[in-house]
């Protein structure tokens, strides 16, 4: 029962979100009344965020680009079915998640790396401190390396846990917002988040301590 | 398991900062230019995308129903018309039977039936019939009585006859005017 309530309640957890949702709804109504060009503004507004979510779920730039486009096309095609029960943002995120999950299931792109191999590699402590002291070119190299390690660690998580940690830590959404998007309870979101953090702390301990 | 090891709140904070480094993984402007171009063409393709088979079947059904509506209506009207025409004898026949019951003296006998190919007349007194126990003087002795005649034709011998013309009126003394309607006068009565 509580899950159903969570899903059907509009996602307006802050005044900013409410304002954003209202603005989006005006644009959506325009599109629904035939002004298809108005959809461009929604693409421009959300393309980076949607891409970020999909990229962090798939860890593949090219696929993330295609899936982001697919997300917007799906939203465009079904915009007339959007009734405004949730915010456009929530609705769009659900589409992007479903698109990503379908893709991941179809392509089985979850890469699992050998933990032993990672331990053998020489990742010295104080990695982040090095980022501050190294030259720009070295910084870029270290950043690339860190990003790769992060991506690898992310790919070891299950899709459910990866989704929750992506939406919380990278996209900055609240527990409630994530629950609305994923379609689960806030408690489940917290539980998945806790598990995912524990796992990543273990995976990235060389960079943390 | 490695991840079951406990971590301090500071570790948790550092992990969050580490993960948030992924926010820096943003595509450059060239990526978005290409993205916009591709999504535009996909959007246009979506606007003219072929319909799914069930959409097409549904729309085809509606189209067929619309196209055949006129034909169906015409056929229905024709069928109704044919039915009405074919059943006309039945309806008017029923009414005639009642009229005949009021004009029993005019009914031909079975012997006459073969001779009654031509129309005959039923004559009705247009003046109201007086009740049995009272005398009606409303039109007086010298008043000219008016009558109404109907042309009849044989439907089935010996009892069913059908009215085939609108009632005609004439006055007494000019009874032969009934023959103007093409009928054969088979009898006259002075009182109705």
Reported as a single tens digit per residue, the pLDDT across B82-100 is 888 877 655 555 454 444 4
CB contact under 8 A, B19 and A165: yes
Chain A CA closest to residue B14? A208
Q: Is residue A60 over pLDDT 90?
A: no
Residue B5 has its nearest CB partner, among A143, A200, A202, at: A202
What local confidence, expressed as pLDDT, does residue A119 receive? 37
Residue A6 gets which letter from DSSP? H
Question: In angstroms, what separates the C-alpha of B57 from chain A's closest C-alpha?
Answer: 20
Q: How far apart are CA A75 and CA A38, in angstroms?
A: 13
Q: Which residue has the higher pLDDT, A138 or A117?
A: A138
pLDDT of B160 above 60? no
For residues A27 and A38, is the Cβ–Cβ distance under 8 A? yes
pTM over 0.90: no
Indicate whether B155 pLDDT > 70.
no
Judge whether residue B192 has pLDDT over 50: no
Q: What is the mean pLDDT of residues A2-21?
A: 56
CA angle A28–A30–A33, rounded 5-degree value: 110
At A84, phi and psi to the nearest 5?
85, 15
A-chain residues near B42 (CB < 8 A): 69, 73
Tokens in use for B70?
A: 């006129």
Q: What is the dihedral of CA A83, A86, A91, A93, to 10 degrees?
A: 170
ipTM of the assembly?
0.73
Would you say A28 and A88 are in contact if contact means Cβ atoms under 8 Å apart? yes
Q: Do residues A67 and A58 touch, judged by C-beta distance below 8 A?
A: yes
Q: What are phi and psi of A91, to 5 degrees?
A: -60, -45
Sign of the four-CA dihedral B47, B51, B54, B60: positive
Q: Which residue has the tokens 């034709």?
A: B153
pLDDT of residue A72: 95
**What is the per-residue pLDDT across A180-193, written as a single tens digit (0 to 9) for each?**
999 999 999 999 99
Q: Which of A197, A203, A206 to mutate to test the interface with B (most CBs of B within 10 A)?
A: A197
Percentage of residues in chain B having pLDDT higher than 70? 40
**pLDDT tens sequence across A28-48:** 999 999 898 899 999 999 999
**List of chain A residues whose C-beta atoms are within 8 Å of the C-beta of residue B4:** 198
Q: In chain A, whose CA is at the least distance from the CA of B13? A: A208
Chain B contact for A36, CB < 8 A? yes
- Six-digit token string for B99: 């009229």
Rounded to the nearest angstrom, the gap between the alpha carbon of residue A115 and the centroid of all alpha carbons in its chain is: 25
SS3 content of chain B, % helix, strand, coil (to 5): 55, 15, 35
Q: Angle A163-A164-A166 (CA atoms, 0-180°, nearest 5)?
A: 65
**Amino acid B11: pLDDT:** 80
Closest CA in chain A for residue B23: A170
In chain A, % of residues over pLDDT 90: 48
What pLDDT is attached to residue A5? 36
Q: Are A153 and A204 in contact (CB under 8 A)?
A: yes
A92 in contact with B, Cβ within 8 Å:
no
pLDDT band, residue B131 (cuts 50/70/90): very low
Q: What is the pLDDT of residues A118-175, one digit of tens each?
A: 333 444 345 555 555 666 667 777 777 887 888 888 889 999 999 999 999 988 899 9
CA distances from B14 to A95, A174, B119, B148 (A): 31, 19, 117, 116
Percent with pLDDT over 90 in chain B? 5
- CA dist B148 and B165 (Å) reads 12
Torsion of Cα atoms, A19 then A24 then A27 then A32, to 10°: -130
CA distance A11 to A71: 20
CB atoms near residue A202 (< 10 Å): 18
- Record: contact A72-B39, CB cut-off 8 A: yes
Query: Residue B123 half-sphere exposure, CB side, CA atoms within 13 Å?
Result: 24
Q: What is the pLDDT of residues B4-40, one digit of tens each?
A: 556 677 788 888 888 888 887 888 889 999 999 999 9
Contact between B39 and A44 (Cβ < 8 Å): no
Closest Cβ opposite residue B35 in set A39, A65, A147: A65
Q: How confident is the model at residue B150 (pLDDT cuts 50, 70, 90)?
A: low
Query: What was the pLDDT predicted at A51?
Result: 95
Phi, psi of A49 (to 5 degrees): -70, -45
Q: Where are the alpha helices (DSSP H) in A59-185?
A: 61-77, 88-107, 115-120, 127-133, 136-156, 159-165, 175-182
């Amino acid at each position: 029962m509580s899950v159903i309530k969570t899903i059907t309640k509009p996602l307006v957890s802050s005044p900013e979100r409410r304002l954003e949702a209202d603005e989006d709804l005006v644009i959506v109504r325009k599109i629904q009344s035939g002004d298809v060009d108005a959809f461009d503004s929604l693409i421009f507004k959300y393309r980076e965020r949607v891409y970020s979510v999909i990229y962090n779920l798939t860890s593949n730039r090219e696929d993330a680009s295609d899936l982001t486009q697919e997300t917007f096309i799906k939203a465009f095609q079904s915009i007339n079915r959007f009734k405004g029960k949730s915010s456009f943002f929530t609705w769009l995120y659900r589409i992007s998640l479903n698109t990503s999950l379908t893709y991941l299931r179809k392509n089985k792109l979850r890469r699992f790396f050998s933990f032993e191999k990672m331990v053998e590699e020489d990742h010295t402590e104080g990695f982040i401190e090095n980022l501050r002291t190294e030259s720009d070119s070295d910084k870029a190299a270290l950043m690339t390396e860190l990003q790769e390690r992060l991506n690898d660690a992310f790919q070891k998580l299950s899709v459910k846990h990866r989704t929750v940690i992506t939406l919380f830590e990278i996209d900055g959404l609240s527990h409630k917002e994530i629950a609305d998007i994923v379609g689960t309870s806030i408690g489940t979101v917290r539980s998945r988040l806790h598990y995912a953090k524990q796992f990543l702390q273990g995976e990235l301990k060389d960079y943390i301590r | 398991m490695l991840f079951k090891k406990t971590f301090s709140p500071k570790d948790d904070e550092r992990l969050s900062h580490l993960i948030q480094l992924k926010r820096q993984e943003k595509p450059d402007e060239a990526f978005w230019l290409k993205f916009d171009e591709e999504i535009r063409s996909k959007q246009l393709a979506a606007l003219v995308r072929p319909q799914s088979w069930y959409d097409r079947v549904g729309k085809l059904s509606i189209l067929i129903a619309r196209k055949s509506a006129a034909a169906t209506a015409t056929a229905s009207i024709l069928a109704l018309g044919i039915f009405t025409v074919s059943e006309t004898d039945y309806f008017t026949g029923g009414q005639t039977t009642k009229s005949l019951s009021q004009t029993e003296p005019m009914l031909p006998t079975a012997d006459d039936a073969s001779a009654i190919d031509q129309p005959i007349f039923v004559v009705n007194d247009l003046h109201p019939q007086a009740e049995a126990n009272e005398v009606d003087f409303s039109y007086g002795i010298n008043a000219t009585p008016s009558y109404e005649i109907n042309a009849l034709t044989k439907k089935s011998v010996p009892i069913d006859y059908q009215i085939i013309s609108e009632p005609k009126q004439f006055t007494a003394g000019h009874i032969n005017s009934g023959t103007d309607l093409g009928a054969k006068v088979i009898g006259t009565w002075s009182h109705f």
